[in-house]
Chains A and B, each alone.
Chain A
C-alpha cells in the first residue's frame, strides 16, 4: 500500500509530502524525505515492553504495573518535574499539562535548552515573521545565521527558501541571494553565495555594527568587528536594504553562544529596523518537529510557553528559576517524568548526576541514554507513524500527523491519561 502526503516526524521543517510504502503493517520504503527522515521513518530499535528497575536492573513488566508505579512516584513527590514533549503530539501535550496542573508540578520542554533564549528575546522585542510559503514566493535575500540547516533541516532550502520557484521568484535559485554567517565553514556554505565568518562569541557586536551602519552611524564602527571587516559589514547592510523581501533564519549559533538571548534581541531589532527600508522578516530554526507545538499549547493553556511551575496553584513562569536544568542543578525536584526527549544525552553533567539520584520515569518509543537513568520505562507508539495528531511547523503552521501503521504500544496521550487517572485514584479523588 502506498500512502502519500505523509508528514515526517523529525525536524521543525515538518515536510508533508512524504510517500510511504507499507506492507503487512511494516514500512518498507520511504520516498521524498531526507536521509535523516528516511532513517527515522523506516524505524530502529524500540523499547519492547514496560520495565521497572529492581536492584539496579530494568525488569520487564506490564503497562498496568508501570503506570501504577509512575503514579505512585508522582503522588509521593513533593516537587515533580515533567520534561520533554518535543517529539509527540499536541494532544499528548494537553494531557501532560493537565497532569502537571493536577500534581502542582513544573512542566518544561526542550525549548528550555534550545530556542528558550529566542522566546525570551521575543518577549523583549517581538518577532516580525511569516510562514515559510511567504519566503518561497517572495524572498530574494535569504540569510542563515548560526544554523547549519544543510545537516539539521536538510530539505529546508529545497522546499522553502533558496531553491524553489515561487509566484514572485520564478527564477528559483538564480533570482535569490543566500548569505551564511557562522563561526565555521559549514556544509550550508557550499550552496550559499556569500559566507561571512564571525569570530566565536562575537555575534552580538557584529549585529550591533550592522544596526549602527543601518542607522547611518557607520563612523562609530571600527575597521573590523568580530573578525568581519567593516567593508563586508557595509556590503551586507546594502544587500539587506536593497532586497525586495529579506529573511534572517537563526539557529543555536545565536541562542547558545556568548550573549544568548541578547544576541537574538539584537538580531530581531536589526530586522525590525530594516522594515523602515524594505520588507524583512526573521525566524528561529526550530529543531524537533513539534517543539513549536508544545510552546503553542502551553501558552494557550497556561499563558506561558515553557518552564511553568504549578506549585503555587497558579502558573508561575520564570525561566532560569523554573526551567528543568536549573531545577535539577539546584537539586530541587524529587522525581522526573521524561517524555519524548532525551535529557540523558543533552543535559549538563551536573543535572544528570542528580537525575541518577532521584526516581526517573521515561515515556518514549526508543531506548536512549535517559533509559539508563530511568526507574520506570514506558514504551509508547511513535507519533506520526503509529498515532495521528497535531504538530506545529517551525513557522507555527499546524498540520495533522498521519497514522501509517498500527501500533503495538499505547500512545503518549493514552499513557498520560491513564497516569492521570491513577494519580486521582491514589489521591482518593
Chain B
C-alpha cells in the first residue's frame, strides 16, 4: 500500500521543515522518499504534520475507570451509538476507551502516553489499552512512593535501585519512571502529606532524596525518557518554590539526547501567594528558570473553564479538593507502591483562583521562549478533557481571542495573572513542536519513528483543512477537532473528520538490561517484600504477554 500526500503545507520541526509546500510519500507503515503507484491524497492548501503525540494524558487504568464509575452523569455526555466500524462512545471528561481512541484520532493524534500506572494494577491499564483503538501507546510506572525504592534510596544502594527500576519496568511492560508527589502517598497511608524536604514517615528519606535517587537510576539505565515528575505540593498557593526546588534537584545531571527531568502539568505548580485570597501566577519565575536551563522540560497542564473530573496518584491532593468542594470523592491506596484519588471539579469563570489557573497554563506556553521545552497538555482530564486541545491552540495563536475570554471572567485576572500583558501569538511551527515534535523528543520516541516525517519514520500523519495563514479561532478549532485525514501506520483512519478504519494500537515498552549481580541481590529483597507484605504472590505479579498483544520492545543497555 502506497500513499502520496501531494502539495500539502508541511510542518515537520524535527526535520526543520517549516511550512514548505511539498509531498510526503508513504509505503506500508513508513515514510519513504518516493513511491511508484500510490493512492494520491490532495493536500493542496492544507496543513500536513506528523501525527500528534500526547506526552501526558490519563486515558486508561484503575483511576480512570474509577472516575467513569463515579460519574455516570459524565458518561451520559457525548454518547454515540455503534457505527459500522465503531463501537459505542460515552463520556466527556471520562470517555470510554473507544471514544478515547476515536476522538484522539479525529484530532490527528496517533500516540498517547498513559502517565501514571500503579505497577500492581498495570494489567488493568493494559487491558484498557487493548480496547483503545487506533492509538499507539505506552505507560509510565509509578515507582516513587514505593517501599523498595525508598529503602534503596535511604541505604544509598543505587545499583540495586537501578536493578529494581529495570525489573519493574520490564515486569509491568512500562516505558519509563513516573514520580507523583514523592513520599506524599506513603504519608497519605496515614492520612498525612509531605513537602520536598520533609521526612517521609517511617522511611527516613525526603522527597528530594527520592527524586535524586530515581533520576540517578533512570540515567544509569539509559532509559529513552527521563524521570517524569508531578512535583510535591500540587495545587497549593505559593508552591512555585517547591517546583523550582524540585527542578534544582537534578541540575547537576545531564544526558546527551534529552532533558534529565520532565515536570508535568506545571500549571498546577506555578502558584504564588500565601493563601487563596492572594493566590497569583508565578509563571515569570518558572519561565525564567526553564528558559535559562537545559536539564528540565515541562508540559502545560492547561485548565479550561468548565466541568471536569480530577484524578491523580496524588491521594492527599484529591482529598483536599474534596474538602474544598464537598463533592464526591474516591480514593485508592495501593499497597507498597502508590495511591490515587478522584473528585469532580468545576473550574468557574466566576472564581478568581480558577480564572488565574486558566491564565497560568497559557502564560507558560507564551513565556517559555523555546517551544521544544514545553509540550501541550491539559493533564487530561485534570485541567480539562483532551477534546479541548483545539480551543487551547486557538487561544495560543490569537491574542484577540484571549482578550475576549479575559473580558468575561473574574477581574482578578488583571491583577494576579500575567496573561493580560502578553502579546505573543504562537504560529503553526510552534504548535507542531508543542503537539508532536517536542513530546516525541522529550519521550525519546523520535529515535523510534514518532513525531516526525523523515524517511523511515512511522507513517503517522495528520492533515488539517486550514490555511497556514488562518487565525480565526472558530476555523482553527473546527479544523483541528476534525482532521481532514489522519493516517496511522500508513492506513487512513480518519477521512473528513470521520473514522474510516480502526486498527489496533501498539504498546511501546522498554526492556532495560542491567548488571546481573545487582539484579540477583535485589530479587532477594523483592522476594521478601512479596512473602511478607504484598497481597499477591510474586509469581502472579508480572504482566503476562497476553496483555500486550502488539508490543514494540525497546532494549536499552547500560
Contacts and interface: CB of A to CB of B under 8 A. Distances in A.
Interface stretch (A80-88, A189-197, A300-308, A405-413): A300-308
Interface string A118-138: 010011111111111110111
A279 interface: yes
Interface range, A side: 35 or more
A296 B70 contact: no
A300 B68 CA distance: 7
A90 interface: yes
Contact of B121 (A101, A119, A397): A397
A7 interface: yes
A424 interface: no
Contacts of A124: 328
A392 B65 CA distance: 13
Interface string A227-245: 0000000000000000011
Contacts of B66: 127, 396
A10 interface: no
B213 interface: no
A39 B94 CA distance: 42
Contacts of A102: 82
Given A5-B537, A313-B81, A399-B536, A279 B189 contact: yes
Interface in B109-145: 120-121, 123-124, 127-128, 131
A130 B120 CA distance: 12
Interface of B: 60, 62, 64-66, 68-72, 75, 79-82, 87-91, 94-98, 120-121, 123-124, 127-128, 131, 147, 188-191, 202, 319, 322-323, 328-336, 339, 342-343, 532-537, 539-540, 544, 546
A299 interface: yes
Say what secondary structure dominates the interface of chain B: mixed
Contacts of B97: 300-301
A301 B121 contact: no
A396 B535 contact: no
A279 B98 CA distance: 37
Nearest to B74: A303
B65 A300 contact: yes
Contacts of B330: 122, 126-129
Interface in A26-46: none
A268 to B, nearest CB: 9
B131 A302 contact: no
Nearest to B529: A167
Nearest to A94: B131
A275 B68 contact: no
A208 B70 CA distance: 23
A390 B127 contact: yes
Given A134-B189, A314-B88, A300 B96 contact: yes
8 contacts: A126-B342, A127-B70, A136-B535, A245-B189, A281-B331, A299-B68, A299-B96, A305-B69
Which of A125, A131, A276 has the largest number of chain B CB atoms within 10 A? A131
| 8 closest Cβ pairs, A-B complex | A313-B81, A133-B335, A303-B90, A303-B75, A133-B535, A130-B333, A279-B191, A126-B328
B121 A398 contact: yes
Contacts of A122: 69-70, 330
Given A159-B535, A303-B75, A128 B331 contact: yes
Interface in A147-162: 159-160
Contacts of A275: 191, 319
B72 A303 contact: yes
A70 interface: no
B343 A398 contact: no
Contacts of A7: 540
Given A167-B147, A314-B88, A303 B319 contact: no
Contacts of A134: 189, 333-335
Contacts of A297: 127
Contacts of B537: 5, 16-17
Contacts of B190: 138, 244-245, 279
Contacts, number: 186
A126 to B, nearest CB: 4
Interface in A294-330: 295-297, 299-305, 310, 312-315, 317
Nearest to A5: B539
Contacts of B62: 396
Contacts of A367: none
A400 B79 contact: no
A166 interface: yes
A4 interface: yes
Nearest to B67: A299
A168 interface: yes
A5 B540 contact: yes
Which of B62, B88, B322, B335 has the largest number of chain A CB atoms within 10 A? B335
A278 interface: yes
A126 B127 contact: no
Contacts of A281: 331, 333
Given A16-B537, A127-B330, A314 B68 contact: no
Nearest to B81: A313
A176 interface: no
Contacts of A101: 82, 87-88
Contacts of B544: 400
A392 B536 CA distance: 12
Given A126-B342, A314-B79, A302 B96 contact: yes
Interface in A238-254: 244-245
Nearest to B188: A279
Interface in A258-285: 272, 275-276, 278-279, 281
B328 A125 contact: yes
Nearest to B535: A133
A122 B148 CA distance: 33
B534 A133 contact: yes
Contacts of A138: 189-190
B91 A303 contact: yes
B158 to A, nearest CB: 23
Contacts of B328: 123-126
A271 to B, nearest CB: 10
Given A272-B322, A300-B60, A303-B91, 18 more contacts: A101-B82, A126-B342, A130-B334, A130-B335, A131-B332, A131-B333, A131-B335, A136-B335, A167-B533, A245-B190, A275-B319, A299-B68, A301-B87, A303-B94, A304-B90, A314-B89, A314-B90, A388-B546
Contacts of A133: 335-336, 533-536
A145 B531 CA distance: 29
Given A123-B72, A400-B540, A315 B90 contact: yes
A90 B123 CA distance: 12
A51 B91 CA distance: 42
Nearest to B83: A313
Contact of B540 (A16, A137, A276): A16
Which of B121, B331, B339 has the largest number of chain A CB atoms within 10 A? B331
Contacts of B336: 133, 137
Given A303-B91, A310-B88, A317 B75 contact: yes
A123 B69 contact: yes
Nearest to A402: B540
Nearest to B89: A314
A131 B535 contact: yes
A7 to B, nearest CB: 7
B90 A4 contact: no
Contacts of A119: 69
Nearest to B147: A167
A312 B332 CA distance: 34
Nearest to B126: A398
Nearest to B540: A16
A90 B127 contact: yes
A218 to B, nearest CB: 23
A297 B82 CA distance: 17
Which of B94, B333, B336, B544 has the largest number of chain A CB atoms within 10 A? B333
A47 B250 CA distance: 64
B335 A132 contact: yes
Nearest to B328: A126
Contacts of B536: 16, 133, 397, 399
